[in-house]
Chains A and B, each alone.
Chain A
Amino acid sequence: MIADKKVKPSSLKILSQEHFENFSTKHSWEPGWLVDLRKESWEQLKSIEENDLKNESWRFSPRSRFGYSQFNNITDSSDSPKFNQSSENPDIICDSVDNILLKHPDIVSCFTDAKGPNLGAIQTYQLINTYFNNGFFIKVPKQINENLRIEVDHCLPMSENVTFHRNFVTLEDFAELTIIETYSNDNHIHKGALSNLTHFKIGKGAKLNRILIQNSSRESSFYNLENFDLHADSSVVNVECYLGANQSRIETKGNLLESGSCFKNFSFVSANGEQLFDQRTEQHHLAPNCSSNLLSKNVLQDQSKAIFSGLIRVDPEAQHTNALQTNRNLLLSKEAEADSLPGLEILANDVRCTHGATTSRLNQEELFYLLSRGIKKKNAESLICLGFLEEILDKIPDENLAKKIRDLVCTHFN
C-alpha cells in the first residue's frame, strides 16, 4: 500500500504496478544490470511525494499542464530515431539504444554513471529511467576531427501516448562533432508526450556543436532533460530552437568539471496561441578558469507564456570563473507573459559573473517605420522578431538550416 501523501498510482495509469510488470516482461531480453537499473528507478518513482512536485523548481509553472495522468501506454518507438552520418569511419558508434544494447553490452558504465540535470522534473526523470524505450547512442573516439556531422531525426509514430527516450553522446579526448537533432511535426495528430533524457560527456579538448530544433505537433507535450559534463579544455556550443508542442519543459545543465572548459548555450522560443515553454537552466562551475555563456531569447504572441529560470553556481574552488547569462523577452500581446528567475550562487571570490533580464514590447519606432513603407502589421512584426532572434540564428553553422528555421518562425506570424 502506498501512503496517502504519495502520488496516487491508480490515477496515473502508467504508474501502476501492473503496468510496470507488463513492461518488464516485454523487456526481459535486456541484460541483467539494466533490469536492475529500471527496477531501482521504479522504486524511486514510487517514493516521490506530492510536495516534491510543488517546490521552487516549478515556480510560476502551471503544473497541471505537465502531468502524465492522461496517458495509458508507452509507445513502441523502435523505428525512431533515424540517422544521417557524414562519415564512414567504423570506429564511430552511432546507433539506436536498442541496437547498442544488443551489440555493445560493455557500455554499462555509460548508463550507471550518467546523471540528469536535476532541476526539478524528478517525476519525468524517473519515468524515463524506468521506461525508456530507445533513444540514440553516439560515441566518437579519440582525435576524430574530420568535420564529423550527424543528423538525428526523431520521427515519432502517430500516437496519443508517451515516448521515453534516453540518449547518450560521448566525445573522447580531442574528438569533434556537430550534431543536429530535429523533432518535426510531419505527423499532425501526435497528441502524446515525448520525454527525452540526454547525457553528454565531453572529453579533454573535445568540441561539440549541437543544434536542436523542436517543432513538434501543437497538441503534444515535450520534455527535454539534458546534462552536459565538460572535461578539461573542452567546449560545447549548444543551440536550441523551440517552436512547437503545446507545453514544453526544458532542463539544461552544463557542468564545467575541469579547467579551461567553455559552455555556451543559445536558445530561442517563438510562441503563439496558448503555447507554454518552461525553461530551467544551470551553469555549474566546479573548476577554476572556466567560462560559460547562456543566452535565452523569447518571442511571445497571443496568450503564450515563457518561464526562464537560470542559475549560475560557482563552487569555492572555481576561481577565475567567467560566467554570463542573459534572458530577453519580447511580448507582442496583452496576454502574453514572461517570467524570469535569473539566479546566482557564488562561493568563490575571484570571479566575473553577470546576469541580465529584460522584458519589453516591440520597438514602436521600428514598427512604424516598416508600416510606413507599406508592410502589413503581421509581416512587420515577424521581420522585427526575426531581427531580434538573429543573434541566436547566427550561431547555426549551416546556412540552409538557419534559413529553414527562419521560415518556420515566419509561419508563427500568419
Chain B
Amino acid sequence: MINPNPIEIDREKGNFHYNTDYEFDAGVGLSEDVVKYISDVKREDEWVKDFRLKALNTFEKKRMPTHWATKDLENIDFDVIRYYLSKGQMPSRTWEEVPDDIKQTFERLGIPEQERKFLAGVEAQFDSEAAYSRMKDDLSEKGVIFVGSTEGLKEYPDIFKKWFGKVIPTSDNKFSALNSAVFSGGSFIYVPPGVKLEQPLQAYFRINAENFGQFERTLIIADEGSEITYMEGCTAPKFETSTLHSAVVELVALKGAKIQYVTVQNWSNNVFNLVTKRAMAHDESEVRWIDCNIGSRLTMKYPGVILRGRKARGEVLSIALANDGQHQDTGAKMVHAADETSSNVISKSVSIGEGRSTYRGLVQMPGHLKNCKNNTECDALLINSDSQTDTYPAITVQGEDHSVQHEASVSKVSAEQIFYMQQRGLSEADAMSMCVNGFVNDLIREFPMEYSVELKRLIDLEMEGSVG
C-alpha cells in the first residue's frame, strides 16, 4: 500500500467541504489491514478503529442468510470488491463512451445538463457548493449539524457517539457488520430541539467522491420537537462499476420529533443493494420511511421502526419495480415496544418481464402493552406472464388490547381494462402505463414533488417494451 499524503482538514465548524483529496490504493479484497488502512487514512480516533475491527470479526463469523433469502447472494465475491475508493480511483469514461440509452434516459427524465456528466461517470465530482451555499448558512444559524460520517465522529463525538451503532448493532446481520467495518461517506445530521426544517436536506448537498459510495453510513438525530425530511438517491441511472452496496441508516427521533426519510434507488443492473435501515422512535414521535426501488440486480431492504416511546408512530411507504433480471426484496419491520403505538405499512410492487418482487414483513406486539395498532397493505401487480411475486409477512400479537390488520393482493392489469382505454384512443402501451401509474399513484403522491414527476416518467420508461 502507498502511504497517504497529508490530509487538509478544514476545522471550521459547519463547513460543508471536508476535504478528501488524497491518493492511495487499498486494493481489492477485505482484511484487517484494509480496515486499519481506511481508519488511518481518515485519521480516526482509536475507538472508531476498534469498532471497525470488531465488526470485521463479526462479519467473517456470520453466515449468508440464504436459508431464507435468495441464493443469488452466493454470487457475491467479497474478494474482488474494492472497499474504499478515493477520488483518484473513481471510475471514469468520456462522454462518447456513455451508452446511448443512458443519454436518452437523462433526456427523458429532464435531468439538468450539469448533473448528467457526474451521473454518467464522466466527471468525478459535482460541485454543489454554489447551489446550496445559502442553505448552508441557514442551517448553521439554526445549529443544525450536517456533515459526513468521518467528520461527524471526529468533530462531534459527544452528539453522535451516543447513538452510533445503537439503533443497528454491528451484529444485526452480516451486511450491517460489513458496513460497520468499512463504512465511509453518508450523512451525519443533528437537529436541535424545536427546529423544524422546512426544506428537505438532500444527500446531493454532500457530493464528493465518497458519497455515492458503496458503504455509506448515515445517522440522523432529531432532538425533541424537531422536524426534518432527508432525501437520497435519484431517479437517473448512476454509473457504477462496484457491485456491492451495503449501507446502514440509523434514525433517532426523540420526544415529539418527526423524521421523514425519502429514498429513490435506481442503481444499475449489476449491483447488489443490501441496506439496513432502522429508526428508534421515542414518545410521541413519528418516523416515515418513503422508499422507491427501481434499479439494481438485487435489493434487500426492510426499513424498520422500533416504537420505543408511548404514542410513537412508524410508517413505511414503499414502491418497487422489478424488471428483467431484477429482484426487489423489500418489506418493513415494526416492533412495538410501548403503549399506544401505531404503525402503517403500504407496499406496492410491479413486476415486469421476468422481474421478481418479494415482500417480507414483521409486526410484533407483545402482551404487556396496551392499545397498539397496525395496518399493513401490500399489493402486487404482475404485468407479463413470466413476472413473479412473493409475499411473506409475519405477524405476532399477544394480549387482548391490540388491533392488527393485514391485507395483500396480487393481480394483473386486466385485458378488459386495456381494451376500455384503447377504445378511447390510447395505445396499448399508453394504456398499460396509465394503469401502472394509477396503481402506484397514491404512494407517488407522498414523495416530495421534485421526485414525483421524475418517478412517473421513470415508470413509463420501464413499462416501454413490456407490452407486445
Give A contacts to B, CB under 8 Å.
55-56, 59-60, 316, 319, 329, 331-362
Contacts and interface: CB of A to CB of B under 8 A. Distances in A.
Given A357-B406, A361-B400, A361-B401, A341 B380 contact: no
A346 B390 contact: yes
8 cross-chain pairs, A with B, having the tightest CB-CB distances, nearest first:
A349-B382, A337-B398, A344-B391, A361-B400, A354-B409, A340-B395, A339-B396, A359-B397
B411 interface: yes
Given A319-B385, A349-B382, A349-B385, A344 B408 contact: yes
Given A346-B388, A348-B385, A355-B391, A335 B412 contact: no
Contacts of B47: none
Given A342-B406, A354-B407, A354-B408, A334 B399 contact: yes
A413 to B, nearest CB: 15
A346 B389 contact: yes
Interface in B11-26: none
A333 B396 contact: no
B348 interface: no
B404 interface: yes
Contacts of B400: 331-334, 336, 361-362
B367 A342 contact: no
B390 A340 contact: no
Given A337-B396, A339-B395, A359 B402 contact: yes
Interface residues of B, number: 37
20 contacts: A316-B385, A329-B397, A331-B398, A331-B402, A334-B398, A335-B399, A336-B398, A338-B396, A340-B397, A342-B391, A342-B406, A342-B408, A349-B382, A349-B385, A352-B409, A354-B408, A355-B408, A357-B393, A359-B397, A361-B401
Contacts, number: 134
Given A348-B385, A349-B385, A360 B367 contact: no
A329 B406 CA distance: 12
B331 to A, nearest CB: 12
Given A319-B385, A335-B367, A343 B410 contact: no
Contact of B410 (A319, A341, A344): A344
Given A348-B385, A353-B410, A358-B404, A338 B397 contact: yes
B411 A351 contact: yes
Contact of A55 (B67, B398, B410): B67
Contacts of A343: 390-393
Per DSSP, chain B at the interface is: strand
Interface of B: 67-68, 351, 367-368, 380, 382-412
B395 A341 contact: yes
Nearest to B393: A342
Contact of B403 (A335, A344, A359): A359
Contacts of B394: 59-60, 339-341
A358 B410 contact: no
Contacts of A354: 407-410
B404 A360 contact: yes
A183 B199 CA distance: 67
B381 to A, nearest CB: 9
Contacts of A316: 385-386
A246 to B, nearest CB: 19
A347 B67 CA distance: 21
Contacts of B384: 349
A123 B284 CA distance: 48
Nearest to B388: A347
Nearest to B385: A349
Given A344-B410, A357-B404, A350 B385 contact: yes
A337 B404 CA distance: 13
Contact of B399 (A60, A331, A348): A331
A120 B383 CA distance: 33
A332 B393 CA distance: 23
A277 B30 CA distance: 47
Contacts of A362: 400
Nearest to A352: B411
Contacts of A329: 397
Contacts of A319: 385
Nearest to B381: A349
Contacts of A359: 395, 397, 402-404
Nearest to B412: A349
Contacts of B402: 331, 359-361
A183 B179 CA distance: 55
Contact of B397 (A337, A346, A349): A337
Nearest to B400: A361
Contacts of B388: 345-347
Given A335-B367, A352-B411, A358 B405 contact: yes
B166 to A, nearest CB: 27
B313 to A, nearest CB: 19
B57 to A, nearest CB: 24
A350 B412 contact: yes
B377 to A, nearest CB: 10
Nearest to A349: B382
B380 A346 contact: yes
Nearest to A337: B398
B410 A352 contact: yes
A373 B399 CA distance: 27
Contacts of A334: 367-368, 398-401
A337 B399 CA distance: 6
A340 B389 CA distance: 19
